[in-house]
Structure 1
Amino acid sequence: MNYFLSKTMLDFFIAFGMVIGGAFLAGIGSVLVFQAPGPAMIDTADKLKIWAIVAAVGGTIDPMRVIETNMLEGHLSPVVQQICIILSAFLGAHMGTELIKLIGAEAL
């Protein structure tokens, strides 16, 4: 598999895993302090979504710099690849958040 596809898939699963893991740990923490886990998991998943995307793509400055320099030089292929990587990370974080909302709604 080429670098672009592996990077895209890896960023998807990093963002997905960050949201799922953080929300599950928030649920465990809420049980330890005798609170309902559902609302804590949903709230944490919503708050972690943007940070999961940022962590998956490796920060916010470098991807934007790649897009800017290549766009100004007229090289559109790296720009499209970088946007696809960001969208993949967003999709992973969003799917993780929706899964937590589904699980958290059952816990209510």
Structure 2
Amino acid sequence: MQYFLAKAGLDFFIAFGVVFGGAALAAVGSVFMLLPPVTTMLDTADRLKIWAIVAAVGGSIDPVRVIESNIADGHLSPAAQQICFIIAAFLGAHLGTEMVKLVCKGAA
């Protein structure tokens, strides 16, 4: 149980960090390229969301393979764990996107 919570927490914060950090660095880069940072930040956060989930769960194929092989063998627990990890990563990426929107709302 401790491993499950630790892994789910890490997936959440990795996805959050990918979205929020990537959007923040894109805003810094947009200043150097003379582009509007707020627009760049919002666009980047939306585009990074799915990639943050993929990065957090450790690749796009491995979790799906674990789910498929365990369900085929009749073991539902490992498959349910992988689905929970993907949900935790999604929540982190979504919170990161919402945080970027909140930050940009104050700047706009």
Both proteins in one fold, TM over 0.5: yes
Q: TM-score, with normalisation over the residues of structure 1?
A: 0.95
Aligned match of 1:49: 49
Deviation of 1:33 (Å) = 2.4
Gaps of 5+ in 2: none
Paired position in structure 2 for 1:21: 21
- Runs (4 or more) in structure 1 with deviation over 4 Å come to none
Structure 2 residue aligned with 1:88: 88
Please give the per-residue CA displacement for 1:29-65, whole angstroms capped at 9, x wherever unaligned. Answer: 1122233211100000000000000000000111011
CA distance in 1, matches of 2:74, 2:48: 35
Secondary structure at 1:64's aligned position in 2? Answer: helix
Distance 1:80 1:33 in 2: 45
Moved more, 50-59 or 26-35: 26-35
Q: Report the TM-score when normalising by structure 2.
A: 0.95
Superposition CA RMSD, Å: 1.1
**Percent identity (aligned):** 65
Aligned partners of 1:13 and 1:68: how far apart in 2? 26
Shift of the alpha carbon at 1:106? 1.9
